[in-house]
Structure 1
Amino acid sequence: MRVEGRARRGGWIFWAAIAFVIAAPLVAFVAWKQREAAGAAEAYWSLAGTPCLVLDQAAFEARQRKPMTFAFDGVSLARGAGHMECTHRVYDQAGGRREAPVCDFSGPIALAVSVGGRQAFYAPPGSARVAVIDGAPVCVQRPWTKIGN
Structure 2
Amino acid sequence: MRVMVIVKATTDSEAGKMPTTELLTAMGQYNEELVKAGIMQAGEGLHPSSRGKRVRFSGANRTVIDGPFAETKELIAGFWLWQVKSMEEAVEWVRRCPNPMEGDSEIEIRQIFSAEDFGGEFTPELREQEDRLRAEIEQQTHKPK
Larger Rg: 1
Comparing both structures, which one devotes a greater share of its residues to strand?
Answer: 1
Larger RCO of the pair (alpha carbons < 8 Å, separation 6+) = 2
Comparing both structures, which one devotes a greater share of its residues to helix?
Answer: 2
Q: TM-score, normalised by structure 1?
A: 0.27
Q: TM-score, normalised by structure 2?
A: 0.28
